[in-house]
Chains A and B, each alone.
Chain A
Amino acid sequence: MTKTITLNHITKIEGHASLALGIRKNKVVKCELSSTEGSRYFEGIVRGGKYYAAHEMTSRICGICSCAHVIAAISAIEDAFGYEPTKQTKLLRELLTLGERIRSHATHLYFLALPDYLGYDSALAMAKNYKKELQNALNLMKTGNGIIKLLGARDLHPVSATVGGWLKFPKQEEIEELKKKLLDVKDDAITTCKLFFSLNYPDFTTKGRWSCLMDSKQYAVLDGNFCSKNLCTHKHNYRKFLKEHHVPYSNANFVTVKGERYYVGALSRLNSNNSQLSKDAVKMLKKSKVMLPSKNPYHNNIAQAIEIVHCIDHAVNICDKLEIKEEKLDKLKVKSATGFGAIEVPRGTLWHEYTLDSKGTIKNANIITPTIQNLLNMQEDIRELVPTVLHKKKKNIIMDIEKLIRSYDPCFSCSVHFLEVKWI
């Protein structure tokens, strides 16, 4: 007989998804994780539009990582036209991306992940007993949002970054001010690390490969080759490397590297690029006592906390380098071509691809978000986790599954609703 348990509305993730589980004689006979987010067909909507509209429209794929879609779309279009942005533009784009990573990690860690570990309904309900911790979170979020607002004019869906340069530059004194604010929240980042190191994480090993961009110059943000174990590829060859498979029960596709499941995100980056972390981030990594490479997906929370420290250091470094000059927008040589963008964003590697005609009209678009890449690994992790926790009470089994899913920080808005776990 197949055990059938239904749990509706798994919460605290971005967007909507469902899980169908079937268990027979202590064996998982069915495990289907699917996105049930309504289809928005972004890749179709941008078709027929102009190259300069792509980032403004694809930004709407996701609120929390809108900067990511903006920068990935711009990179892909510029790649198609063979344009290399100026040094200043690259630094501003990097800083914007780092700001987003700080706010996204802080939001995920405190608002979506932490309540599970402390036994609360929500972060907001923790306000009475954990006011200091929440204040840390809000300080970090405010600083991340501050970077985005300063550079992109808005917290969400930033507008100043554009194809060929930057529309409105921050003033030099605003950059100095920003640097002070970043240094002010460094302690909050360190406290965040200590808090997340002190939590009890389940012992679990994923069989997926960790994968991310690797950049010889620095802890990868906007450049580098995509590497999975010892295999690497330049973004131009990603189609040969990543394979998308359609699954009938989901609104999202599965993606594999050379036929194998993989995962992206903070833990992957830490596994691959830890030698490039800032000094203080390395100190924190040592304190965490996590041995790298870690294959425990729950450690993604620890990795995100360490990344916040690193991102602050990296952002301060960029502030030091920036000497703001008012640069005019470069005109791009519009031609018929295909361009690729691959960048590291809060949840992992984000891919944008556009094919344009000689007038700069978008003929085709393909977007692969981090959550889509993690989907198969999440599903298979659940399949492997469930038999090890079957002795527990149903409530606790569900909790373990939810914690696992949330540790991946999935964003089902991106992937194509309340997470409904349907036990069948």
Chain B
Amino acid sequence: MTKLKVGFYNITGCAGCLLSVIFNEDEILDLVELVDLKAFPFVKEVNAEEKFDYVFMEGLVADKDDLAVLKKIRKNAKNLVALGACACTGCVPAYRRYTLKENYEHLIHKKKNGIQDVKPTPIDAHVKVDYFIPGCPPDKKEILNFIKSIVIGKKPVPYESPVCIECRQNNNQCLLDLGKPCLGPITSGGCNAVCINGSFECWGCRGPTKDMNFELMIKMLKDRGFDDIFIENRMRTFVGLKMPIIEKFIDIELKALKLNTKFKGKKDYFE
């Protein structure tokens, strides 16, 4: 049987998703035997620019260079896999689009020829993406299972139940019950509820479930004393670009607030 030609690349990001591939410490050496590893510039000197069966792409498009690399790789790849939150949703760097320009203006400087910022965007805003492995970073076992699936010719199936399912299985105390702003009910699981296992509320990094009850989520948060600004910021931190629905619910009031630029917090979550 011929092995699948596989490449691992990254554009602008933190390398955390590529590390999550390598951090499968018990399996990584066998794993690379299962495929024909053609490119992995993070750990490999010679990286063939040829046709791939699968390319795993970490990172978001933040400048024109990213876009050029992404487009070239898309042309060479039968299947493009968006690896991790930056590639899938734009993650925290794309949250910049919801902050005031005056917040980061001072950091922008004139750059050398060739480097030019673009709107921070997930990769599917520019090219067709065949598979998504969400998470900041994805569960390393999830990456492993994905690769095992494609090697035996099975189509990988995304996990679609909310985080709450795994969280309940782990017998965690419900953080919403404790008054914390946990986004577990509307967020796709598959992460083994890892943050809540550590008593930290879900910030929604894996993106919304298809059948989320958004209205109820907002109500639950408001009942716990969180205001529109807080809810908007929290929901947009990791997946803002994939949750346009937020605008329908809270934007009118928000715009008014932003014009005031005054923080009218009703309740602060630690205070």
Contacts and interface: CB of A to CB of B under 8 A. Distances in A.
A111 B15 CA distance: 14
Contact of A12 (B19, B43, B104, B270): B43
Given A64-B16, A153-B200, A138 B28 contact: yes
Interface string B49-60: 000000000001
A41 B253 CA distance: 27
A357 to B, nearest CB: 9
B107 interface: yes
B194 interface: yes
B29 A124 contact: yes
B147 to A, nearest CB: 14
B62 A39 contact: yes
B76 interface: no
Contact of B22 (A34, A38, A111, A334): A111
B23, B203, B271: which has the most chain A beta carbons within 10 Å? B23
Given A12-B42, A49-B233, A157 B198 contact: no
A155 B43 contact: no
Contact of B203 (A40, A43, A56, A63): A56
A251 B42 contact: no
Interface stretch (B109-117, B155-163, B211-219, B243-251): B109-117
A284 B105 CA distance: 49
A223 interface: no
Contact of B14 (A62, A131, A359): A62
A251 B66 CA distance: 14
B256 interface: no
A134 B110 contact: no
B32 interface: yes
A64 B25 CA distance: 15
A139 B23 CA distance: 11
Interface stretch (A22-30, A115-123, A307-315, A336-344): A115-123
A332 B269 CA distance: 12
A156 interface: yes
A154 B198 contact: yes
A159 B196 CA distance: 9
Contacts of B195: 153-154, 159
Contacts of B32: 124, 127
B12 to A, nearest CB: 3
Nearest to A412: B15
Contacts of A127: 29, 32-33
Contact of B66 (A38, A107, A123, A249): A38
Interface in A370-395: none
A312 B269 CA distance: 38
Given A45-B93, A111-B22, A38 B117 contact: yes
A418 to B, nearest CB: 5
Given A12-B44, A44-B104, A156-B16, A246 B109 contact: yes
B166 interface: no
A9, A40, A131, A248: which has the most chain B beta carbons within 10 Å? A40
B99 interface: yes
Given A11-B41, A121-B44, A121-B46, A45 B104 contact: yes
B20 A60 contact: no
A167 B199 contact: yes
A332 B270 CA distance: 9
B124 to A, nearest CB: 17
Interface string A239-280: 000000010111100000000000000000000000000000
A251 B115 contact: yes
B189 interface: no
A417 B115 CA distance: 12
B15 A41 contact: no
B19, B62, B65, B93: which has the most chain A beta carbons within 10 Å? B19
B111 A251 contact: yes
Interface string B222-250: 00000000000100010000000000000
Contact of A359 (B63, B112, B203, B265): B265
B120 interface: yes
Nearest to B97: A45
Nearest to A61: B14
A139 to B, nearest CB: 8
Contacts of B237: 53, 57
B37 A167 contact: no
B104 A37 contact: no
A413 interface: yes
B99 A156 contact: no
Contacts of B41: 9, 11-12, 418
Given A64-B15, A248-B110, A47 B104 contact: yes
A60 B91 contact: yes
A132 to B, nearest CB: 12
Contacts of A42: 92-93
Given A44-B104, A57-B237, A156 B19 contact: yes
A14, A44, A158, A249: which has the most chain B beta carbons within 10 Å? A44
Contact of B107 (A41, A138, A160, A164): A41
Contact of B43 (A122, A154, A162): A122
A153 B197 CA distance: 7
Contacts of B137: 63, 156-157
A113 to B, nearest CB: 11
Contact of A14 (B37, B42, B91, B203): B42
Given A38-B61, A124-B43, A155-B20, 13 more contacts: A11-B47, A12-B45, A41-B107, A42-B92, A44-B96, A62-B16, A107-B19, A121-B45, A122-B43, A138-B28, A154-B198, A159-B194, A359-B265
19 contacts: A11-B41, A38-B12, A38-B117, A39-B108, A40-B96, A41-B104, A41-B107, A44-B107, A47-B104, A122-B44, A124-B29, A153-B197, A156-B137, A157-B137, A167-B199, A168-B198, A249-B112, A359-B268, A413-B13
Query: Nearest 10 CB-CB pairs, A to B?
Result: A44-B104, A153-B198, A63-B16, A38-B62, A38-B12, A159-B200, A122-B44, A168-B199, A47-B103, A167-B199
Interface of B: 11-20, 22-23, 25-26, 28-29, 32-33, 37, 40-47, 60-63, 65-66, 69, 91-93, 95-96, 99-100, 103-112, 115, 117, 120, 136-137, 140, 194-195, 197-200, 203, 233, 237, 263, 265, 268-271
